[in-house]
Structure 1
Amino acid sequence: MASPKKQPVKDVVHQNVTSRYLKRDTLQELLEQLFPGQKDFNIRMKEDQWCFSAPRKVEDSEIDSIRDQ
């Protein structure tokens, strides 16, 4: 009996960023712009930091561009 083929696991980066001057909705919008077609980033607040999962590391400069919006 042949074993079923396994689906390739997509690389996912788990990342934390400080929540200072950063809103959840704005973070969601940025992630959707950076990763078109993806909506679920598992964004959650933990110990005053936003935690999320994305296909690659989101650079500090990308995060900084949405602070205070």
Structure 2
Amino acid sequence: MNRAIHAAAEAANIDKRVSMHTLRHSFATHLLEQKVDIRVIQVLLGHAKLENTALYVQVATDLLHEVTSPLDRLPPG
């Protein structure tokens, strides 16, 4: 699997260091950006604690910018 990941990175002209963890991290981040529930991601990654999965939220900053505060939804008044 490791050789396949490195071959794919080379074919994609990725100069950065890649590993199984890179693939796992990217998978979780992309799921978050697609608004998949964090509990689903927790199960897919096999994390026993939600806190471990929550670390990926720090990376998905685009998703955080899309969140609208409930206070902003209040009618003026």
- Whose strand fraction is larger, Structure 1's or Structure 2's? 1
Pair member with larger Rg = 2
TM-score by length of 1: 0.31
Of the two structures, which has the highest relative contact order with CA contacts closer than 8 Å and spacing of 6 or more?
1
TM-score under structure 2 normalisation? 0.29
